Structure 1
Amino acid sequence: MVQQPSYFSLSDLVETDQRYAEVKRQLSPFERGSDEYLKKLIELCPLTQYVDDAELNKQQAIPVPNSQEDGYGPVYRSVLSPERQVSCFDISLPSFYHHFQLCTRLWPDNKCLGVRPLDAQTRTYSDRYEYITYAQVEERSRHLGSGIMSLVNVKRCKSLDSNDFIVAIFSHNRPEWVLADLACQAYSLTNTALYETLGPEASEYIMNLTGAPVLLFAKEAISKVISVLKDLRYVNTLICIDELTDSELHMLNSSLLPRKQNTNGEEISFHCLSQVEKIGATVQLPTTPPTLESIYTISFTSGTTGVPKGVVVPQRNATAGLTGGLAVVRIGKPDGTFMKDMCFLPLAHILQRQFLAYGLSTGGSLGFLHDPSPTNLVEDLKVLKPDYVVLVPRILTRFEQAIKQSLKKANYKGSKLPPALIHQIRASLGLDNAKFVLTGSAPISVDTLNFLSNALDVQMRQGYGLTESFAGMCFGEGSDINKGTVGPVGITCEVRLKSVPSMGYYADKDGKGEVQIRGPQVFTEYFKRPEETKAAIDDSGWFSTGDVASIDDAGLLKVIDRVKNFFKMAQGEYIAPEKVENMYLSSCPLVTQVFAYGDSFRTYLVGVVGIDEEVVKNTLAHKHGSLDPLRGENLANAINDNIRIKRDLLRLINGCCAQNLQGFERLHNIYVAIEPLTVEKNLVTPTLKVKRPVASKYFKEILYDLYEQGSLIKEDKL
């Protein structure tokens, strides 16, 4: 018997499912797998346009018949591919790199990676973006990969084409980051990214665990690299992605190396990117493109406790995640031109990595901030005017408050904004051309999404996924978001809920439980952590996410809680602090950060709260005018020092969550600050998850004082 292939591509789906007969008809003139065929298939996406709207609105994910087991809900699959999960776009495109190569063949002169050039005379940035093309990116990344292979392997006394090592990248977003990523893929090299905000201990841990012999970094990180170099056991090649003069390179190599050799006795040397590209162009090593099983990247999740875990991401996970996005997100513009994206979220995070793949698989272009500070976002958006952008909820809530503030100043009281005003608002944020805005990674209120959708006349999409699923596996839109859901599971995953009896969730009875996912988009191991892998993935391949959710009749997922992070109060009630924190963050525009804390000998919660300075002042102004002249921490201190003001603020904050939190889940006393939880203080991860044990210790005295002060709302009926 001939064994059936394990893959099932999107092209297989459209060739076999009658609902996509029109797609199949338009593809029929082309040889399957040819560039012309693939180009046409890209143009014909997303698949959602070929399914009846009424049918799609009624049910977007459906339960697999007879799939429910005791203690679990049924298995759900996307209605777009209910019989089988899709593993890739087409078998001729087994990796993100092959998608990029296809675009390079189809559109070699398309704008690819863009920056605002700096004028050397005036030291100001241009009011336009300049780009390198797909053909230029392909050539430069190939030369860079050839150069990295040559330098590393000569020192290891190995064949120049040996690709049995890992490349580490340590930089903010910029074109060179993408060049390095593509260089690795061209030669089937695995890469890993160090968060800029990771401390030296975590960076050292990742470098030594992966045995990475090469590190690419930005010039501003040279001092950090030199300071940890003495503890990096396997590094032999250091590449600065900024230009360095011959004298600077000589100084680094002769005077600033803490040691001349690594633990393997290999020489350590500094280089700059252009130098490595020249070496690669001279050697011209043949590329070794990846397969479905090649390891694309090891993405380290900065856990809330312990050392980071490395999620091993094969190309099959990445290309599945990419395909899932292509199936539901519109690719081109109606006039046939290509999309522009602002590459804003750190590329070390998997969500931006997914949309990097999306952009460079559709002939689109990516723009980068002229300076990595998020404060530059709006300035650069106004110059770039992207067609879509991926942003975290914190940025969107700031947009919301800025728009509301401007409407208030203009004394506008209407419920429906006129087109001219919408145009003005869009232009003020650089979203003149935006077709959609996608958000993920943290909760956001339905009210915020609806307000921004109306104020900007733009489609707001909320995604759900994890590093372990190569980011988005659900992409909600429109009515999905209005219901507070993150949409249906995509075509490259399946999902089910698992009962959590200890928290009162019974997936087979009340339809609520821990989210489990399985399929081509889902990882299969943590790097060198077999125990962690076994604990996370069961024998049937189901990965337990730690998120608690419900699935409604339309098959839409709604995340409502987190597993395990709960504690017991003195009265015997269990509290899930992440649920509490997320509810405040998603419901209340007054707060930007929340750390909820419960002492098991007490009957109520206290917390540390980050406040939105302008919103708080404007809200309290009518009653507490003394706050008007205060700024920053002076404002926060004034609130902390005045029980009456703090009580009023707390009542307002709790009022936002009155319908969604029980009395024992609400905060009874708070300490406020402008930004109390930062990565630099080691209180949150780079993805902004609270490091609960660390935060409890850090705020120990403050939390003790809050309990000593007592409940500020106990007289209220909660």
Structure 2
Amino acid sequence: MRPGSGVYLSLGRAAAQYTQYKFYKFYNFYRLYSTYMYETHSLSDLIHTDPRFKQLKERLGGYARGSDEYLAQLINELPLTSYPDYKAYLKRQSVPLPKGSASGNDSSSHSDIFRNVLSPGNLVTCIDQCLATGYDHFMFSVRQYGSNDCLGERVYDPETKQWAPTYSFQTYSEVAERAHALGSGIMSLVNVKRNRPLRSNDFKVAIMAHNCPQWILTDVACQAYSLTNTALYETLGPRTSEYIMNLTEAPVLVFAKCNLYNILSILPDLEHVNTLVCMEDLTQHELDTINTHLLTRTFNKNNERISMFTMKHVEEVGRLNNIPVIPPTPETVYTISFTSGTTGMPKGVVLTHQNITASNAFVLSTMKIPEAKRGKQLYDLCFLPLTHIFQRQTTSYTLSMGVAAGFLHKPDPLVLVEDLKILKPDFLSMVPRILTRFEAGIKTSLAQSAVQSTIASSIIGSKAARFASHGGTDRSLLNSMLYHRVLIDKIKDSLGLTNNSVIVTGSAPISHDTLLFLRSALDIGIRQGYGLTESFAGMCLAEPHERDIGSCGAVGISTECRLRDVPEMSYFARRDLKGELQLRGPQIFSEYYKNPDETSKVLDSDGWFSTGDVGFIDKKGRIHIIDRVKNFFKLAHGEYIAPEKIENAYLSSCPYISQIFVFGDPLKTFLVGVMSIDPDAVRSFLGERRPELGAMSPADLVATINADAALRREFLLLINRGIEGLQGFEKVHNMVVGLDLLSVDNDTVTPTLKIKRLVATKHFRTELDALYAQGSLIRTEKL
């Protein structure tokens, strides 16, 4: 059922779909669909009915509503935050719904329901009824920007053993043609083996690969044929991949060649696979060798033959068969995105095409393209893992508007700056860990010359003071004629950020000092967002040049939120506007795959998703994440400790540390910590007091700090004095330092950098016991 009838989902449509989606059998049918129905309310509906957007409506008046020309102009005129008055929006970004209204909340244990001030009357489900699915968005770009660059990479020359010095791109039209051929080929090969009609699309497609153009090709191919895909985490080990493959019963696995060994090692335990597709080219001899000698298990549990192909072979099969596309509908399941949980096996978050379109509507409503860049070819670096929903949201946004996505020439973060210098992207999505390294690199480079350091400190200090007092874009002549020419442009060029307009950061808190420094040194907007896999990544995003930094911005136009009391942690929603954040709307998921028990724990009968994160809503209507529900314990003196709140406070206030794990023994009266340090920043600071430390290698620096209690105490006092908002018993009293101590490799964090507390406690047990045996380093100091 296509949009336009006023409702995306209907009970009759749902009944027809019930047999197709086996996982729905676990749920009460009426509850599932009556809870998650959302009337079609597009961004274009909002513009045409709300008098506040009269000016924007007039600008679109010369185009037939729903036409490609209309959609292109609409996207070009966004963001919606610019209308009618951006300054007014900054002062009040979300509003509570009236008490007693149909949508309002009167519960004493919950706050009011908040919606974005741009659309308080309705939650937006899509940009326009003509863009009702992710596939609609991509095909719009194909029609409108067919000759634009789409997917690009640096090509490797096996003869010279060198990577090309420039990016080579496939156009949108070429990507569409290849994706349709790939989808047709996958449908042909899988269904012949299953003895099913060639147009049967009742199976899942699994992907195991680092970021590359073939990943996006596979994703678009799945969308074109309404195939649900799921991504396997290369970092979580073979057992997790086996679990996901068997749970989803995926018959096809599309993978990068570097994962061949891992796949063959678990193949005997994969019950449903019949088709393996290697993304890279292989010679016929290599392919025959694999199929003849390495595929030791030749049939799966369904007695279907297992065989391997290259992606190009599958595309050739697809072109021969040329199965007509099967466009998705809003309720079609787009992906099952498995969360990297802190305990047990990951949960599969079921996300539909309506979740994509709601997400795109939110991002487009708040992201601004500079006027000088409108209508030009723009570039984005697809850097964060596509296994995570954050990057998929970013990529969905860029592919909706003809932007090109480039990829690292090899899956190694160490080549990031090298590729940034070549691609010079206009957009960038990052995580705080990378941005703190940018900060450290800039500071180290500037410190090499005393004169340069003095000039840089003066300029950056002046910029920081301006941002802290005024906010907004700095359009002064002093900035453009002096600061940029003397310093800022050189810094941007050195990092490959020459053309960059905005950086979005998420997945973890970022230090206020880092935000302010990078905004000042790069003179670009850095926007912190918040979201989860269950909300199709970001559902709020801070404005780029706000004076009072630190929030995650207001809830977006496709989601509503409220706060719930957490009395055991002394958070009260109505009294203080602090509590567990709950979300509802067309951007929010509806279930965990084949897991009704876990679904019922976080989704109530009214559709509210309990995030597990504690937040507060400020006077401007912006969300701040301050804690995590259930991550608390008592110390011996009876005080409750919320470790995640404490860790966030340290990371937000201290540029010398990049990771921290706070631990408290319930029989002790103080906290200890495991900290990963930024060696360049720490050397710079401690070297002023102890010059011999300035020349040490990172490993020697770490060993010296850990061995020297007096030095460690001095460092700890520095850190603690810069922390705001914590009481003395909430501060760390002893610590061990290191480099990247918390990692996916040692299983102490998830791929999205959430700490696995039980695992981390066990992993660092020796160090933690030693810290308590040594005692508090700062007990006599006033904190």
- TM, length-normalised to structure 1: 0.98
User: 2:93 is aligned with what amino acid?
Assistant: Q
Contact (CA 8 Å) 1:290, 1:315: kept in 2 or not? yes
Return the match for 2:156 from 98, 107, 118.
118
Contact (CA 8 Å) 1:62, 1:82: kept in 2 or not? yes
Return the match for 2:768 from 700, 703, 711.
703
Residue 334 of structure 1: SS of its match in structure 2?
A: helix
Q: Give 1:370's aligned residue.
A: 409
Q: Give 2:62's aligned residue.
A: 29
Return the match for 1:466 from 528, 532, 536.
532
Contact (CA 8 Å) 1:581, 1:594: kept in 2 or not? yes
1:311 matches 2:311 = no
Residue 696 of structure 1: SS of its match in structure 2?
A: helix
Contact (CA 8 Å) 1:331, 1:339: kept in 2 or not? no
Residue 509 of structure 1: SS of its match in structure 2?
A: helix
Matches of 1:85 and 1:641 in 2, distance apart? 57
1:14 matches 2:80 = no
1:411 matches 2:453 = yes
- Return structure 1 stretches of 4+ with deviation > 6 angstroms: none
1:689 matches 2:731 = no
1:288 matches 2:326 = yes
Contact (CA 8 Å) 2:138, 2:399: kept in 1 or not? yes
Displacement of 1:330 in angstroms is 1.8
Contact (CA 8 Å) 2:149, 2:377: kept in 1 or not? no
Deviations 1:88-135 (A, max 9, x none): 111111111111101101111111011112233322222211100000
Residue 151 of structure 1: SS of its match in structure 2?
A: helix
Matches of 2:327 and 2:6 in 1, distance apart? 25
1:598 matches 2:644 = no
Matches of 2:387 and 2:732 in 1, distance apart? 34
Deviations 1:419-438 (A, max 9, x none): 21101001001111111111
Q: Give 1:644's aligned residue.
A: 710
Matches of 1:353 and 1:562 in 2, distance apart? 25
1:346-365 matched pairs, under 5 angstroms: 346-365=385-404
Displacement of 1:332 in angstroms is 6.3
- Farther-moved stretch of structure 1 (120-129 vs 478-487): 478-487
Return the match for 2:381 from 342, 349, 366.
342
Deviations 1:153-206 (A, max 9, x none): 111111111111110100110100000000000000000011221111111111
1:214-229 matched pairs, under 5 angstroms: 214-229=252-267
Residue 782 of structure 2: SS of its match in structure 1?
A: coil
Matches of 2:529 and 2:199 in 1, distance apart? 39
Contact (CA 8 Å) 2:511, 2:655: kept in 1 or not? no
Contact (CA 8 Å) 2:502, 2:525: kept in 1 or not? yes
Matches of 1:171 and 1:384 in 2, distance apart? 22
Residue 214 of structure 2: SS of its match in structure 1?
A: helix
Structure 2 unaligned regions, length at least 5: 8-38, 464-482
Contact (CA 8 Å) 1:77, 1:493: kept in 2 or not? yes
1:260 matches 2:293 = no
Return the match for 2:608 from 542, 547, 550.
542
Q: Give 2:421's aligned residue.
A: 382
1:664 matches 2:729 = yes
Structure 1 unaligned regions, length at least 5: none
Matches of 1:660 and 1:248 in 2, distance apart? 61
Matches of 2:116 and 2:765 in 1, distance apart? 47
Return the match for 2:647 from 575, 581, 584.
581
Matches of 1:259 and 1:535 in 2, distance apart? 40
User: 2:672 is aligned with what amino acid?
Assistant: V
1:617-656 matched pairs, under 5 angstroms: 617-656=683-722
User: 2:585 is aligned with what amino acid?
Assistant: G
Provide the aligned length of Structure 1 versus Structure 2.
716
User: 1:460 is aligned with what amino acid?
Assistant: I
1:157 matches 2:203 = no
Contact (CA 8 Å) 1:187, 1:287: kept in 2 or not? yes
- TM, length-normalised to structure 2: 0.90
Deviations 1:617-675 (A, max 9, x none): 11111223333343233321221111111111111221221x22111111111111111
Contact (CA 8 Å) 2:351, 2:536: kept in 1 or not? yes
Contact (CA 8 Å) 1:480, 1:487: kept in 2 or not? no
Residue 235 of structure 2: SS of its match in structure 1?
A: coil
Displacement of 1:511 in angstroms is 1.2
Residue 661 of structure 2: SS of its match in structure 1?
A: strand
Displacement of 1:331 in angstroms is 4.1
Displacement of 1:51 in angstroms is 2.2
Displacement of 1:481 in angstroms is 6.7
User: 1:539 is aligned with what amino acid?
Assistant: S
Contact (CA 8 Å) 2:525, 2:545: kept in 1 or not? no
Q: Give 1:279's aligned residue.
A: 317
Residue 192 of structure 1: SS of its match in structure 2?
A: strand
Contact (CA 8 Å) 1:173, 1:347: kept in 2 or not? yes
Q: Give 2:10's aligned residue.
A: none
Deviations 1:43-66 (A, max 9, x none): 121111112133212201111111
1:393 matches 2:432 = yes
Return the match for 2:365 from 327, 331, 338.
327
User: 1:48 is aligned with what amino acid?
Assistant: T
Residue 411 of structure 1: SS of its match in structure 2?
A: helix
Displacement of 1:679 in angstroms is 0.5
User: 2:58 is aligned with what amino acid?
Assistant: R
Displacement of 1:333 in angstroms is 4.7
Contact (CA 8 Å) 1:480, 1:486: kept in 2 or not? no
Residue 162 of structure 2: SS of its match in structure 1?
A: coil
1:117-136 matched pairs, under 5 angstroms: 117-136=155-174
Matches of 2:341 and 2:540 in 1, distance apart? 23
Matches of 1:31 and 1:626 in 2, distance apart? 71
Displacement of 1:459 in angstroms is 1.1
Task: Note closer, same or farther for the CA distance 1:228–1:635 as it changes in structure 2 (3 Å cut).
Answer: same
Matches of 2:608 and 2:276 in 1, distance apart? 40
Task: Note closer, same or farther for the CA distance 1:332–1:228 as it changes in structure 2 (3 Å cut).
Answer: farther
1:95-110 matched pairs, under 5 angstroms: 95-110=133-148
- Percent of aligned positions that are identical: 52
Displacement of 1:403 in angstroms is 1.4
User: 1:597 is aligned with what amino acid?
Assistant: F
Matches of 2:517 and 2:720 in 1, distance apart? 21
Matches of 2:777 and 2:298 in 1, distance apart? 62
Contact (CA 8 Å) 1:450, 1:482: kept in 2 or not? no
Contact (CA 8 Å) 1:462, 1:481: kept in 2 or not? no
Matches of 2:58 and 2:377 in 1, distance apart? 24
Residue 497 of structure 1: SS of its match in structure 2?
A: strand
Displacement of 1:10 in angstroms is 0.7
Matches of 1:614 and 1:241 in 2, distance apart? 39
Residue 576 of structure 2: SS of its match in structure 1?
A: coil
User: 1:348 is aligned with what amino acid?
Assistant: T
Matches of 1:117 and 1:479 in 2, distance apart? 38
Contact (CA 8 Å) 1:155, 1:266: kept in 2 or not? yes
Contact (CA 8 Å) 1:61, 1:78: kept in 2 or not? yes
Q: Give 1:434's aligned residue.
A: 500
Matches of 2:740 and 2:621 in 1, distance apart? 37
User: 1:296 is aligned with what amino acid?
Assistant: Y
Q: Give 1:54's aligned residue.
A: 87
1:64 matches 2:97 = yes
Residue 664 of structure 1: SS of its match in structure 2?
A: helix
Deviations 1:578-634 (A, max 9, x none): 111111112111111111111111111111111111111111112233333432333
Residue 205 of structure 2: SS of its match in structure 1?
A: strand
Residue 380 of structure 1: SS of its match in structure 2?
A: helix
1:434-513 matched pairs, under 5 angstroms: 434-478=500-544, 480=546, 482-513=548-579
Matches of 1:579 and 1:469 in 2, distance apart? 22
